[in-house]
Amino acid sequence: MKNTLSLAALLLALALPATNNAVAQKIPVNYDESKVPPYTLPDVLTTKSGQRITNRKQWESHRPELIRLFSEHVYGKMPTQPVKVRYQTTSVDENALGGKAIRKQISVFFTEYPQLPPMNILLYVPKGTTQRAPVFVSMNFQGNHSVSTDPGIALATRWLPNLGEGKVVNHQATEAARGMQDRRWPVPMILARGYALATVYYGDVEPDHPEGWKTGIRSVLSSPAGPDSWGAIGAWAWGMSRMLDYLETDPSVNAKKTVLLGHSRIGKAALWAGALDLRFAAVIANESGEGGAAVARRWYGETIEHLNAQFPHWFCPQYRTYDNNPNALPVDQHQLLALIAPRPLYVASAVEDQWADPIGQFLGAKATEPVYQLYGRPGLEVSDHPAANQPVGKTIRYHMRTGVHDVTNYDWEQYLKFADEQVK
């Protein structure tokens, strides 16, 4: 398929700064299927020592080894020390969105680290439900105020990316930015289907630039610098689990029925969070691409080298050693996806988002099927990459919609149907 978006256009679509765009643009990119070199994925049912996995117990014993390998070579080691928090509900509106929702805003303070600003949760719960609502959990790119035109949402006060300028600056939120990304967040649709929505601005956990760690959670929880030091993807994944910690205390939602959703780089973080935290009931990765659902050994679109050139703060330093040799990685992304098993997994891509390699994402999802089969769970149940707007699969599901790198109502319609069938 022809690539219709340039790298610069994709960065603009993501609404985030081009950290090292000039360097990345010099790295070769392949969009020709006939030029994809042969590669062999690590067998998802074979351990590093060569043992063949044939049952669930063996797989579950193998999970720690995979998590260790992803920690040491891709995302970095997560902190293990418990963190004390204090929850403060800053506002409640029992009749938000014209009486359709209860809106809560909760600040999560890290009590041992008063220098850190709080992580602010925006929570919408459908009005009039008699049972605890299942909840979609996600992070947003532009502040909670960008999710809806609801005037009661507090404006973000932390670092925000300057749209389109390609600069790392402290862009303050204004009223003009309220609801600027509401097309990605069809809150009324989500509520009407009986789901709550919890979101956090990802910059509350760590601002998305190379120096962002200095004012984020990694400034206090990072271990000594080393090849396996965790990056921003890990920090955002850590923040998703802290969101779930709060939801477990809120009687208006069912924290056992949480659907973790992430788009683009937050999709990468959602997959890592879902692999690590078994409390999430299902995981959805929307156009997560390289370092997410797309297999790394397949040379198509964005590569490990592109990631590390543009966003050196996302992954652990060891990941850079695979820039020109992804075949040397001891793992590949299908094994990350397999760590979600047996929980429901949805991988999605877009026709015009060739940068994120739709076929590579499909293949990543497809390669998890042997693990799901250990649990008697049906997978994609097709062999070939499907046509646009033709979702496939059951417990593992995939679609490629028409359009560009984005989150659309079409995507949400599929995710709500998926949650109805697999979680609700």
Q: What is the largest CA-CA distance in the chain?
A: 59
Determine contact, residues 301/30, Cβ cutoff 8 Å.
yes
Catalytic residues: 264, 405
Going 278 to 101 to 91 to 214, the CA torsion angle's sign is positive
Determine contact, residues 150/97, Cβ cutoff 8 Å.
yes
Could you tell me whether strands 253-263 and 133-140 are parallel, antiparallel, or unpaired per DSSP bridges? Answer: parallel
Instruction: Beginning with the edge strand found earlier in the chain, give each strand of the sheet holding 282-286 in spatial order.
Output: 85-95, 101-110, 119-126, 196-201, 133-140, 253-263, 282-286, 345-350, 396-401, 392-393
The position carrying tokens 């964005």 is: 302
Q: State both tokens at 20.
A: 């090292």
Q: How far apart are CA 27 and CA 299, in angstroms?
A: 12
3-state helix, strand, coil in the chain (%, to 5): 35, 20, 45
> Would you call 401 helix, strand, or coil by DSSP?
strand
Q: What angle do CA 158, 160, 165 make, to 5 degrees?
A: 155
Could you tell me whether strands 396-401 and 85-95 are parallel, antiparallel, or unpaired per DSSP bridges? Answer: unpaired
> Would you call 219 helix, strand, or coil by DSSP?
helix
DSSP per-residue letters across 235-263 = HHHHHHHHHHHHHTT-TTEEEEEEEEEEE
